[in-house]
Amino acid sequence: MNRNTAAYYFQRLRQLIADELAMVTPVGGEVEGEVVSFTSHGAMVDVDLPDGGRLHCYIPLTAMASPPPTKATAPSACST
């Protein structure tokens, strides 16, 4: 696979993901999901899609609460 082909597939994948997210919520909207793991700066969340699929998402600390928690595993980190 040459560089142009890889770039095309990467762009197409990004568009497909954006299309799926647009069906779930507008940009800046809220979704419900299940925290499946934590990272050093946030959490990985599975969000159910209308078609029955699941989308694996990253939620940064700054988007978890106001004020943001100091670490992702804080008890109130995902309870907004």
Q: What is the pLDDT, as a whole number, of residue 49? A: 79
User: Comparing 74 with 50, which gets the higher pLDDT?
Assistant: 50
pLDDT in tens, 25-62: 555 667 788 889 988 888 888 988 778 888 888 888 88
Residue 54's alpha-carbon distances to 7, 13, 16, 74, 75, in angstroms, are 25, 16, 14, 25, 25
Q: How confident is the model at residue 23 (pLDDT cuts 50, 70, 90)?
A: low
Domain at 3-63: CATH architecture: Beta Barrel (2.40)
Q: How confident is the model at residue 20 (pLDDT cuts 50, 70, 90)?
A: low
To the question of pTM greater than 0.85 for the whole model, the response is no
Domain range list for the chain: 3-63
Residues in the chain: 80
